[in-house]
A and B are shown apart, each in its own frame.
Chain A
Amino acid sequence: MDLPTFAVQCLNAVQYGLLLFLVASGLTLIFGIMGVINLAHGSFYMLGAYLAFTLAPAFGQNFILMLVVGTLLAALFGYLLEWAFFSYLYQRDHLQQVLMTWALILVFEELRSMLVGNDVHGVQAPDWLSGSIQLGSLMSYPVYRLFASAACIVIGLALWAVVNRTRLGMMIRAGASNRDMVRGLGIHITALYRIVFAGGVALAALAGMIAAPMSSVYPGMGGHVLIICFVVVVIGGIGSISGALIAALLVGFVDTFGKVFFAELSGIGVYLLMAVVLVWRPQGLKGAA
């Protein structure tokens, strides 16, 4: 493999990894802070993609505005969902959460089928992001992918800032290490959970919206993302956002280069990575020991 190709493959790996990070960050927050295993997280990603498909015609070239509006809508949806459904799950043990959220996936899939049908859809990227940068004689790198990576980095930094530099973030971090203590300190835990959950949903939906012009919008897209997401969260350490970033990038590289070098068994690569990491560090790369 020559150097330019290698460089492009690295770019591919990073771009994929950053998008995974965006989806996984929401999951690790919900999992880490609230201790809720949410199998329906992939459905929020799908929600974002279908939101993009629905809103794109109305917003035209105002892509960033559409992302903002979509994120707010998703956050609102998350807030209501937490109030109506998830708040009942905290008292339940992990396994019941698994069961309820698995059932929720079925419900979401059916609702999606009834509301928007079963067809495959595409989302057009706005014109100002539709160009390509020529690399070498045959290949060009789409500008949109660079935008997606940049967006993920920006959002990731914003997330880091909120978690590490604000009061809310302080409460979130405290809740991740010791939930009971936080409650004991009189912090309004219900509101905190609701906000965190809404944030997690918003992150996943935003990832779906950003991904929509690159991938397509189709039934079952949530399921594919879900399991990789869990793998990323576990490798990184539950509740750790920086861990999720490192893990997502690792997964991006393993997936990309695995496809090129080990075509037949590339599917295994990611799981092998997870097994190796967990055997070496059973709590994940950055999880609390």
Chain B
Amino acid sequence: MSFAPKHAALAWATLAAVGTASAQTAPLKVGLMLPFTGTYAALGDNIEKGFKLLVQEQGGKLGGREIQYFRVDDESDPSKATDNVGKLIKRDQVDVIIGTVHSGVALAMARAAKESNTLLIVPNAGADAITGAQCAPNIFRSSFSNWQPGYAAGVVAAQKGYKKAMTITWNYAAGSETVKGFIEGFEKGGGKSIKDLSLPFPNVEFQALLTEIAAQKPDVVFAFFAGGGAVKFVKDYDAAGLKKSVPLVASGFLTDGTLEAQGASAEGILSTLHYADNIDTPRNNAFRKRFALAYKANADVYAVQGYDAAQMLGAGLAAVKGDVKQREALQTAMAKARIDSPRGAFSLSPQHNPVQDIFLREAKGKNNEFRSVAVKALADPGRGCKLP
């Protein structure tokens, strides 16, 4: 029996249709590499919740495809990062990786993603290099770069008329990059940083340096700390009497997620961040309501970043109708997408970092309340990036 060419063509067409159909109806493999244990577990948790909320809102699908999640704990350990991300890339063979919080881990992930050409969306780690010297067509970020909130804080401090500033942070990449941003913004507005203090990460004995601040008498202090260190710093700053005598301006992470623990010591602290809990827009209100309903907890900046990572991915997938094999088209669509985020709509810079408004917030009670827009549509300069 011989196949007439017509039959053969029909057979191939059917096979092709079935093939692509099943490729498109097979679940999309999403790998979540986040801190599920340890100091940053709460952050990883919220990022995951934000991401899954968006997917739930889209009926459990992105680009018409169901999502299959693979989870790996990043252990907040950069030396294990390559091995851990390898689990997602090689063992589970995911289509896209979402992660992570810690910059050192994220840099290792970026390297692995570049080598294996796996799509990576970073939902927090602010290391400037990720959309700077280590940028790549397949690496995206839905959060911020360390430089952004720092620069905005510098602009705000200069606008308030301060001339002499001191900065204090941990001696690690996130700290020094944020401080550099602050100094750039502050000096542009005519100010000068008289001394930059730092202590080894994660040392939290601030007393010696607070005494130093009191001795130098600056107009304003810029601080960057996060987590447990942020709580202690704010309380120590208040207890040392500096809160009354030297105004404090900070990157938003000093007071995000920590206000309850900091209590009255945090009252009135000005901070800059790309999100504020009470942004009064329909989009943000709806988002916060849905998040609270789904998880019985309040959304925070990490939840927003996870949510927007899903939006970014969704936008790309919609453009290629779920066919993740059309990578270039997918990545181009993501790079051009306008994300309708609870923080306000944003698009990405050529280096794939959000170009976004940085807000000035004031800590009041249990919330960081929106006061004004510190800098509108701020783009990270993406220094060292070779993307067009």
Chain A residues packing against B (C-beta within 8 Å): 1-2, 5, 8-9, 12-13, 15-16, 109-110, 113, 117-122, 124, 132, 134, 136-142, 144-145, 214-221, 224, 255-257, 259-260, 263-264, 266-267
Task: Report the nearest B residue to A255, measured CB to CB.
Answer: B205
For the complex, give the distance between the alpha carbons of A136 and B246 in Å: 14
Taking CB atoms and an 8 Å cut-off, the chain B residues in 198-231 that contact chain A are 198-200, 202-205, 207-215, 217, 227-228, 230-231
Question: Chain B contacts of A255 at CB under 8 A?
Answer: 205, 208
State how many angstroms separate the Cβ of B189 from the closest Cβ of chain A. Answer: 24
Specify the chain A residue showing the minimal Cβ separation from B200.
A267
> A110–B36 Cα gap in the complex (Å)?
11
Q: Is the CB of A216 within 8 A of B207?
A: no
Q: Which residue of B lies closest to A8 (CB)?
A: B211
A118 to B263, CA, bound (A): 18
Partner of A138, one of B39, B242, B257: B242
**In the complex with contacts A122-B235, A138-B245, A263-B198, A218-B205 CB distance below 8 A:** no
Interface residue total, chain B, C-beta cutoff 8 A: 44
| A16 to B227 alpha-carbon distance, docked (Å) | 21
Which one of B38, B212, B239, B240 lies within 8 Å of A219 (CB-CB)? B38
Q: Judging by beta carbons under 8 Å apart, are A5 and B228 in contact? A: no
Q: A122-B260, A138-B245 are in contact. Are A263 and B197 (CB under 8 A)?
A: yes
Residue among A5, A138, A216, A266 making CB contact with B199, cutoff 8 Å = A266
Q: From known contacts A5-B214, A134-B241, infer whether A214 and B232 are also in contact, taking CB-CB under 8 Å.
A: yes
Bound together, the chains give a CA A249 to CA B243 distance in angstroms of 29
Select one of A8, A132, A216, A263 contacting B171, CB under 8 A: A263
A14 to B240, CA, bound (A): 16
Q: List 30 A-B contacts (CB under 8 A).
A: A2-B215, A5-B211, A8-B211, A8-B214, A9-B208, A9-B211, A113-B37, A119-B257, A120-B230, A120-B258, A120-B261, A121-B231, A122-B260, A122-B261, A124-B263, A136-B214, A138-B217, A139-B240, A139-B241, A140-B241, A215-B204, A215-B228, A216-B228, A216-B261, A219-B38, A224-B202, A224-B203, A224-B204, A259-B208, A263-B197
- Chain A's closest residue to B214 (CB) is A139
Min CB distance B349 to A, Å, is 32
Does A5 contact B258, Cβ atoms closer than 8 Å? no
**Bound CA span A122–B230, Å:** 11
Kindly state the separation between the CA atoms of A263 and B208 in the bound complex, as whole angstroms: 11
Binding site for A on B (CB under 8 A): 37-39, 41-42, 45, 171, 197-200, 202-205, 207-215, 217, 227-228, 230-232, 235-236, 239-242, 245-246, 257-258, 260-263
How far apart are A144's CB and chain B's nearest CB, in angstroms?
Answer: 7
Interface centre among A132, A140, A256, A259 (most CB of B within 10 A): A259
Complex CA gap A61/B223 in Å reads: 32
What residues of chain B lie closer than 8 Å to A117, measured between beta carbons? Answer: 42
Decide: A141 and B39 in contact? CB cutoff 8 A: no
- Asked whether, in the complex, the Cβ of B241 is within 8 Å of the Cβ of A12, the reply is no
CA A8 – CA B240 in complex, angstroms?
Answer: 11
Nearest B-chain residue to A131, judged by Cβ: B239
Q: Which of B198, B208, B227 contacts A120 (CB 8 A)?
A: B227
Determine which residue in A122, A139, A260 has the highest number of CB atoms from chain B within 10 A of its CB, and name it: A122
Residues of B within 8 A of A259 (CB): 199, 203, 205, 208-209
Nearest A residue to B195 via CB reads A263
Least Cβ–Cβ distance between B249 and chain A, in angstroms: 17
Cβ-closest chain B residue relative to A139: B214
Q: A138-B217, A259-B199 are in contact. Are A122 and B263 (CB under 8 A)?
A: yes
Complex Cα gap A9–B211 (Å)? 7
Taken together as a complex, chains A and B put the C-alpha atoms of A256 and B207 apart, in Å, by: 8
A16 to B39, CA, bound (A): 23
Is A260 within 8 A of B212, CB to CB? yes
Pick from A2, A216, A224: contact of B235, CB below 8 A: A216
* CB-defined contacts of A264 to chain B, threshold 8 Å: 171, 198
Least Cβ–Cβ distance between B176 and chain A, in angstroms = 11
Q: Are B228 and A118 neighbours in the complex by a CB distance under 8 Å?
A: no
The answer for the CA separation of A158 and B242 in the assembled complex, in Å, is 35
Residues of B within 8 A of A214 (CB): 232, 235-236, 239
* CA–CA, A179 and B202, complex, Å: 39
Enumerate chain A residues within 8 angstroms of B228, measured Cβ to Cβ.
120, 215-221
Whether A257 and B208, one on each chain, are in contact in the complex, defined by CB atoms closer than 8 angstroms, is: yes
Of the candidates B210, B213, B215, B236, the one having the most CB atoms from chain A within 10 angstroms of its own CB is B215
B208's partner among A216, A220, A260 (CB-CB below 8 A) is A260
B211 / chain A contacts, CB cutoff of 8 Å: 5, 8-9, 12, 139, 260
A residues less than 8 Å from B200 (CB atoms): 266-267
> How many whole Å from A17's CB to the nearest CB in chain B?
11
Q: Is the CB of A120 within 8 A of B207?
A: no
List B contacts of A217 (CB < 8 A): 228, 261
A residues within 8 A CB of B212?
Answer: 5, 260
Q: Which residue of B lies closest to A121 (CB)?
A: B261
A122 to B232, CA, bound (A): 8
User: Given A109-B37, A214-B235, 4 other A-B contacts at CB below 8 A?
Assistant: A9-B208, A141-B241, A219-B228, A260-B211
B261 nearest in chain A by CB position: A122
Please name all residues of chain B whose beta carbon is closer than 8 Å to the beta carbon of A118 when the two chains form the complex. Answer: 38-39, 41-42, 45
The interface residues of chain B lying within 8 Å CB-to-CB of A15 are 207
Which 4 pairs between the two chains have the least Cβ-Cβ distance?
A140-B241, A218-B228, A122-B261, A216-B231
Q: Output the least CB separation between A83 and chain B (Å).
A: 29
Q: How far is the CB of B212 from chain A (nearest CB, A)?
A: 6
